[in-house]
Amino acid sequence: MLLIERLLSIHLGIYALRKFKATTDSKHDKPISPNLLDREFKVSRPDQVYAGDITYIHTQEGWLYLAVVIDLYSRQVVGWSMAEHMRAKLVNDALLMALWKRKPVKGLLWHSDRGSQYASDSHRALIKEFGIRQSMSRKGNCWDNAVSESFFHTLKTELINHETYQTRSAAKQAVFEYIEVFYNRERLHSANGYVSPVDYELQQIAA
């Protein structure tokens, strides 16, 4: 069965519980940015507001960590990075991918939780270099970053929790295909009037 057909067929399936791994370390002495987003998830144009977060994927080799950057306009995953660590480089690489791919103008609003990766010196230097405004969720409030949380829930419900990955490489390939082949281009999204993120952006350009 093709990947897209399989993902569609398990969209409403029951998934198994997996091991839990914390990804947010908010107990640090780094500066915390204010919550500028304030749950305003409806955005009027592309590359105006990005949101991101980190999740984990269990493999037989150990944990694989995934950082994503989501454009709130279309809910497209415009940047992502995977590694066997949760250092700041993981989130830096995901944001850099989005910046190189989309080339947003200065003033972009970038929202995340208060994790040490997003508060790190290297991450703050990166967003300063590109003229980005940083926003952070309130402490322990997952609803402030609901779009990122929703994407990870969808990813795990539709893909991760149905598989046992022998290697990190196998998990990386599966996640890559899910994001770039299925989610961005094929999966219907309620926030977009039930069209895919890519198609939604194309429709708005043509309008």
Owning domain of residue 23: 3-206
Total number of domains in the chain: 1
Name the average pLDDT for the chain. Answer: 90
Residue 111 vs residue 205, higher pLDDT = 111
Q: What is the pLDDT of residues 1-12, one digit of tens each?
A: 445 444 444 443
**Amino acid, single-letter form, for residue 22:** A
Q: Judge whether 183 and 70 are in contact, CB under 8 Å.
A: no
Residue 13 has pLDDT above 90, yes or no: no
What's residue 1's pLDDT?
43
Within 40-156, strands assigned E span 49-59, 62-71, 76-83, 109-112, 133-136
State residue 23's pLDDT score.
Answer: 52
Tell me how far apart the alpha carbons of residues 147 and 144 are, in angstroms, rounded to a whole number.
Answer: 9
pLDDT tens sequence across 166-194: 999 999 999 999 999 999 999 999 999 99
What is the CATH number for 104? 3.30.420.10
E strand spans, 101-156: 109-112, 133-136
pTM given for the model: 0.87
Q: What is the average pLDDT across 68-97? A: 98
